[in-house]
């Protein structure tokens, strides 16, 4: 047997191993970039919502603003607005957000009043605080209707009320 014939199987095995690592790494990069784009969509939505609330707060008392123009993320689930420090009707909270809201309120120091469920990350809903925002009912939970968020903001002077 010649020396080259002996080395050939090792070269093929090494090539297969390198290809497997490249495919695994490439798959993980694609998977992570898909979830990153979802995170970016939700963060942009939250920032747009905050900006709209603050713009409405800057208007005269009694002014109304609509949230229909805000672009929703793909696979938008539910949005819940809660009034921090007030009693909460647990029956109005969707199952996908119930445990998260309960845990945040149980901690006592949680100030987040906006919760979004993301069907892609069932156990990791998005949450944040938006200043000057209060819900007309506690909590106010809804999903999109026709790809739009049909909620109204109304400036009440000291705060902006969100309602259906």
pLDDT digits (tens, 9 = 90+) for 60-80: 888 899 888 888 887 777 888
Considering only 32-41, 102-111, 138-147, which range has the smallest mean pLDDT? Answer: 102-111
**3-state SS class at 10:** helix
Give ∠ CA 91-120-105 in degrees, rounded to 5.
40
User: How far is the C-alpha of 114 from the C-alpha of 102, rounded, in Å?
Assistant: 13
Answer whether residue 46 shows pLDDT above 60.
yes
DSSP state of 136: S
Do 133 and 53 touch, CB atoms closer than 8 A?
yes
Helix residue ranges per DSSP H, 58-146? 95-107
pLDDT confidence of 36, banded at 50, 70, 90? confident
Tokens of 103: 């845990």
Question: Per-residue pLDDT tens for 152-163?
Answer: 899 998 989 888
User: How far is the C-alpha of 127 from the C-alpha of 115, rounded, in Å?
Assistant: 4
Question: Per-residue pLDDT tens for 87-108?
Answer: 777 777 777 677 777 776 666 5
What integer best gives the mean pLDDT of the chain?
A: 81
């Amino acid at each position: 047997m010649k020396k080259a014939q002996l080395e050939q199987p090792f070269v093929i095995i090494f090539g297969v191993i390198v290809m497997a690592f490249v495919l695994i790494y490439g798959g993980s990069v694609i998977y992570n970039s898909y979830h990153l784009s979802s995170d970016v969509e939700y963060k942009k939505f939250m920032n747009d919502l905050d900006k709209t609330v603050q713009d409405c707060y800057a208007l005269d008392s009694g002014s109304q603003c609509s949230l229909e123009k805000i672009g929703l993320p793909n696979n938008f689930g539910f949005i819940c607005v809660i009034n921090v420090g007030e009693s909460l009707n647990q029956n109005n909270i969707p199952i996908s957000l119930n445990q998260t809201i309960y845990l945040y309120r149980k901690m006592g120091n949680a100030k987040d009043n906006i919760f979004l469920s993301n069907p892609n990350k069932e156990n990791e809903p998005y949450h944040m605080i938006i200043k000057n925002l209060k819900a007309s009912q506690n909590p106010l939970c809804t999903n999109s209707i026709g790809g739009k968020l049909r909620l109204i903001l109304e400036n009440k002077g000291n705060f902006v009320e969100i309602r259906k």
